[in-house]
Structure 1
Amino acid sequence: MSEVNKWDSPLSFILAMVGAAVGLGNIWRFSYVLYSNGGGAFFIPYLVAIFLMGIPFLILEYGIGFSYKDSFPNIFKKINPKLELVSWILVLIVFMVGIYYVVIVGWDLIYLISSANFSWGNNPALYFANSVGGNNDLSHITSFMIPTLIAVLVIWFLVWYISHKDLSRGIGRFSKIIIPALFLMMAIIIVYSIFLPGSSIGINTLLNPDWNSLTKVEIWLAAFSQILFSLSMGQAIAMSYASYLPEKARLIDDVFVVVACNCLFEIFTAFGIFSVLGYMSATSGTPMVQLVSEGTGLVFIVFPTIFNMMGPVGHIFAPFLFIAILFAGITSAMAIIEPMVNSIMHKFDWTRKKTVTVLACIGCCLSLIFTTGAGSYLIEVVDTFLNNFCLILLIAIQCIVFTRYIDMDSLMSLLNKNSKFKVDTPWIYIIKYILPVCLLFMWIWGVFDLIGGTDMFELAVFAVLTVVILVTSRILSKAKSKN
């Protein structure tokens, strides 16, 4: 492997992996999942999911990426040539996630700029619908949201500028600066939040345990889903980054560091978010149940409303939050496109600069679809299909393929070689038997949920996406390799 495609230090790899894991979902999703799934009681299935799925599967990904030091499709091809098509399907799906993920980061950039004078006004929901994300009216799909379009171009340029450089001078150097800055900013926000008047109302609401919820299968599925997507499991990101590691890497130790950073970040962020919601509840007299939201509703509607109430402090608090979200979003966006970058480089023997440039141009053009007046609705439809249907199934397939075709005992020896933490036979049993069953159960549940709540337009989008994914993956798998 070329030296330009290697990490210059273990720290670069760890920070890049933390950047890949810590993203928008940690900031706007976890607090809602925790609140709506048993409060404090949710930590029990959450910890079970970490140790039963998160850590074991990441160890597997690190080990395979480090062992083969190749792209995800090439690894599958070496295992069994017939499996190359499946690998390209996964890589392409992850890249498609990156296409609309950049748009959401673009929304944050708009709000960061808007925080200078609170240009979202007294009705942040109307501002978001009319100027940023659009609404569910498909008649607006022919018109562009100009601020969003410009913001998306800027984010894609930043992703390209950082990622097209040599690995250590680009992603590695950027991660060394941005990840510590992100954690520092979020620490300041969280500490300030918990001292706001009424913060205890929010924290008590968040942590109030509902022990009876532990008997509900939905709570356990929510915990496993949170870990699955929070750690970017099975998306070939960890495998791609691990393939750039030098010898003597402490693979298992690195997994524990990354998982600990990710989980602590989202837990403490949830404390900060609910502290602010408690402040708003105490100040405005609005019940907490009416304030709690997730996703875009929380970050782009509820929080601007709170900032409006905070007076001069809000003009400091708002930019801090949106800068932190921007940093988390950019590092995750770079990680999301990396599996495709790695795969194309190995398939066609392109340079990193050429590969990132071509993919950034393609991704940027496709992202424009989500900058229309119906952008937020289209993102919701596409995200539901790719995550609930595609990714979970493909991760389960990975468990089955790797444990069937790879010598797990030899892989275990490689993992244990330089690590202080060790894995043993139970780890193999978890990967081989328990994880596929859990993932397939989650997939079946997600499919029923998907079918039950879709209309004809959404089904048409699902069909188009399926055809595009299968045809493109077929072309890429059949293309002649130049490496």
Structure 2
Amino acid sequence: MGREQWGTRAGFILAAVGSAIGLGNIWRFPYVAYENGGGAFFLPYLFALLTAGIPLLIMEFTIGQKYRGSAPLSYARINKKAEWIGWWQVLISFVISVYYAAIIAWAMSYSVFALNLSWGSDPEGFLFGDYLNLAAVPGQYGGLVPGVFIPAILVWAITLGVLFKGVKKGIEVANRIFIPLLVVVFLIIVLRALTLDGAVDGLNAFFKPSWDTILDPGVWVAAYGQIFFSLSIAFAIMITYASYLPKKSDISNNAFIAGFSNSGFELLAGIGVFACLGFMANAAGVGVGEVASAGVGLAFVVFPEIINTFPGFNGLFGFLFFGSLVLAGLSSLISIVETYVAATQEKFNITRAKAVTVFGGGAAIISIFVFSSGGGLYFLDAADYFINSFGVAFAGLVSVIAVSWFLRKLGPFQDHANELSDIRVGTWWKVCLGVITPLVLGWMMVQNIITNIQENYEGYSTGFLLGWGWGVAVGAIVLGILLSFTKWKEGQLEIPTDYNESKEVSK
């Protein structure tokens, strides 16, 4: 039996876009743009998209489509010594999946709370006290929290249910539902937000360019960081998804569509979020900068405060906002879990059902019992920061250096992509991947290491960070190397030729 394939080109693109559009688009991008020069930030952001984001997507799509395997198998088919990079990326996805599911569970709870504004007049106190039962000290387990435990089970049941169904009937069908629904829901939110008093002030804060920031290297690094983290690069996702493409599938065009779709949604999110923040600032009689924030605080504290003061249909608006977080989160979580389902299925020569049950189920158990605890938010915060800073960014740096400098595969990959694609890549693509991206990611890594050696992240104790921060990031590399030593089944490193050669996905 040949490898599973996408049913249509649109199915693949929706899945890739669904993976890229996640919680970070809604709660990270607007604030990063605002903090780094507002409208002026879009220049380095677009430059980063064209010199790192799309070139890396083309590289990962090419690897998956050419070598027909999960990230570890694809890297092993390039060169057996590179297999550990694929496993490292898969393990990064494993770590991210176990805590990411918890945030989706919170959003699920909050979409219900929104209907009758259950968070009351003190959303911050409600989140950390009543809802999360936050442990007194980072590192304490704090017992299971039923309000997180139950929706977390539901999140994993949906995710694993989709993955059991396979690529075409599971992942593709889910994204055909989730992504259009997410866009419609978010458009409703944005249109409503734009009618609020003070919305214009919020949009002015978001779009007003501070051109002097263009000369700040930190702003350019922030732009590359945002592109990198929001496009699902170096998570093993895009290699895995591209491996299900039929033989004659356009690569470069798909990368441009996925990249610009993701950025388009980020812009839409920025408009919606800052229109709401402008309304809140207007109502409180303060500047937009005083209410702007990012991450968990924006979604679960600031937005409930905004919803409380809404002029009518508060509950409906809240339900739509948190519902959009659930949809964005689920489409990303499905793609993240698929990376290790596909990798373990191939490495250990087991069925998809067994891989989903054993490895997806194992992740679900860790996720539900660790991150549904009173100490879950602290565990999540440390793991998230370190796996992103010293996992995703570092894995991206290593993979691009390995492919361009040591394996010297940019030429063959360019030929492969150009043979299939409407948009041809040339010298600019090689320069971006061989020079620009390694320099920027290298600079980011050095700065991150210096910052974290000088002071502990968020002031957490060294012991806590060694276990839940550094330990998690280093553990992913070490385990990745160990997994690469296990043997493949006879003949498995040969690139298969039994998949549908003539079918072009263009419907």
User: Is TM more than 0.5 here?
Assistant: yes
Counterpart CA distance in 1 for 2:198 and 2:54 is 36
The answer to whether residue 149 in structure 2 is matched with residue 149 in structure 1 is: yes
Which residue number in structure 1 is paired with residue 483 of structure 2?
Answer: 476
Alignment-mate amino acid for residue 342 of structure 2? N
Counterpart CA distance in 2 for 1:347 and 1:250 is 28
Alignment-mate amino acid for residue 224 of structure 1? Y
Counterpart CA distance in 1 for 2:66 and 2:298 is 42
**SS of equivalent to 1:51:** helix
Counterpart CA distance in 2 for 1:212 and 1:303 is 31
Which residue number in structure 1 is paired with residue 276 of structure 2?
Answer: 276
Counterpart CA distance in 2 for 1:264 and 1:426 is 24
Which residue number in structure 2 is paired with residue 81 of structure 1?
Answer: 80
Counterpart CA distance in 2 for 1:467 and 1:203 is 41
Alignment-mate amino acid for residue 285 of structure 1? G
Counterpart CA distance in 1 for 2:73 and 2:162 is 25
The answer to whether residue 189 in structure 2 is matched with residue 182 in structure 1 is: no
CA distance 1:388–1:43, shift in 2 (3 Å)? same
Per-residue deviation, 1:392? 1.2
Which residue number in structure 2 is paired with residue 47 of structure 1?
Answer: 46
Which residue number in structure 2 is paired with residue 451 of structure 1?
Answer: 453
Which residue number in structure 2 is paired with residue 94 of structure 1?
Answer: 93
Counterpart CA distance in 1 for 2:411 and 2:384 is 37
Alignment-mate amino acid for residue 387 of structure 2? L
8 Å Cα contact 2:13-2:254 kept in structure 1? yes
The alignment yields a C-alpha RMSD, in angstroms, of: 1.7
The answer to whether residue 37 in structure 2 is matched with residue 38 in structure 1 is: yes
Per-residue deviation, 1:40? 0.9
Per-residue deviation, 1:467? 6.0
Per-residue deviation, 1:139? 6.9
Q: Aligned match of 1:429 in 418, 431, 455?
A: 431
* 1:64-118 Cα shifts (integer Å, max 9, x gaps): 1100011211222233323323331221112111110111111101101111211
CA distance 1:475–1:260, shift in 2 (3 Å)? same
Per-residue deviation, 1:478? 2.9
Which residue number in structure 2 is paired with residue 395 of structure 1?
Answer: 396
* 1:129-176 Cα shifts (integer Å, max 9, x gaps): 024342662375232221111111110111000111121100001111
Which residue number in structure 2 is paired with residue 13 of structure 1?
Answer: 12
**SS of equivalent to 2:301:** helix
Higher helix share: 1
Counterpart CA distance in 1 for 2:232 and 2:172 is 18
* 1:288-329 Cα shifts (integer Å, max 9, x gaps): 222101001011001111111115321111111111111100
Of stretches 388-397 and 53-62 in structure 1, the one that deviates more from structure 2 is 388-397
* 1:412-435 Cα shifts (integer Å, max 9, x gaps): 222122322111122112212221
Of stretches 164-173 and 20-29 in structure 1, the one that deviates more from structure 2 is 164-173
Counterpart CA distance in 2 for 1:219 and 1:247 is 40
CA distance 1:286–1:21, shift in 2 (3 Å)? same
CA distance 1:78–1:417, shift in 2 (3 Å)? closer
Per-residue deviation, 1:278? 0.9
| Segments of 4+ moved more than 3 angstroms | none
With the length of structure 2 as denominator, give the TM-score of the two structures: 0.91
Alignment-mate amino acid for residue 58 of structure 2? I
Which residue number in structure 1 is paired with residue 138 of structure 2?
Answer: 138
Counterpart CA distance in 2 for 1:181 and 1:475 is 41
8 Å Cα contact 1:140-1:372 kept in structure 2? no
8 Å Cα contact 2:98-2:363 kept in structure 1? yes
Counterpart CA distance in 1 for 2:487 and 2:379 is 34
**SS of equivalent to 2:246:** coil
8 Å Cα contact 1:79-1:406 kept in structure 2? no
Which residue number in structure 2 is paired with residue 310 of structure 1?
Answer: 310
Which residue number in structure 2 is paired with residue 325 of structure 1?
Answer: 325
Aligned residues: 482
CA distance 1:356–1:305, shift in 2 (3 Å)? same
* 1:360-408 Cα shifts (integer Å, max 9, x gaps): 2111121121222121121111111111112211111111211232543
**SS of equivalent to 1:70:** coil
Counterpart CA distance in 1 for 2:431 and 2:138 is 48
Which residue number in structure 1 is paired with residue 495 of structure 2?
Answer: none
**SS of equivalent to 2:337:** helix
Counterpart CA distance in 2 for 1:193 and 1:376 is 29
Alignment-mate amino acid for residue 20 of structure 2? A
CA distance 1:95–1:40, shift in 2 (3 Å)? same
**SS of equivalent to 1:138:** coil
Per-residue deviation, 1:120? 1.0
Which residue number in structure 1 is paired with residue 67 of structure 2?
Answer: 68
8 Å Cα contact 2:164-2:170 kept in structure 1? yes
Alignment-mate amino acid for residue 171 of structure 2? I
Which residue number in structure 2 is paired with residue 197 of structure 1?
Answer: 197
Counterpart CA distance in 2 for 1:18 and 1:460 is 33
* 1:5-35 Cα shifts (integer Å, max 9, x gaps): 2101111100000100000000000110011
Q: Which runs of 5+ in 2 are unaligned?
A: 493-507
Counterpart CA distance in 2 for 1:337 and 1:101 is 11
8 Å Cα contact 2:71-2:86 kept in structure 1? yes
CA distance 1:251–1:77, shift in 2 (3 Å)? same
Counterpart CA distance in 1 for 2:198 and 2:356 is 48
Which residue number in structure 2 is paired with residue 464 of structure 1?
Answer: 471
Which residue number in structure 2 is paired with residue 371 of structure 1?
Answer: 372
8 Å Cα contact 1:20-1:232 kept in structure 2? yes
**SS of equivalent to 1:143:** coil
Counterpart CA distance in 1 for 2:207 and 2:161 is 42
**SS of equivalent to 2:397:** helix
The answer to whether residue 265 in structure 2 is matched with residue 258 in structure 1 is: no
Q: Which runs of 5+ in 1 are unaligned?
A: none
Which residue number in structure 2 is paired with residue 246 of structure 1?
Answer: 246
Equivalent pairs: percent with the same residue? 33
8 Å Cα contact 2:16-2:238 kept in structure 1? yes
Counterpart CA distance in 1 for 2:366 and 2:142 is 15
Per-residue deviation, 1:356? 1.3
CA distance 1:466–1:232, shift in 2 (3 Å)? closer
Which residue number in structure 2 is paired with residue 420 of structure 1?
Answer: 422
Which residue number in structure 2 is paired with residue 110 of structure 1?
Answer: 109
Per-residue deviation, 1:475? 4.3
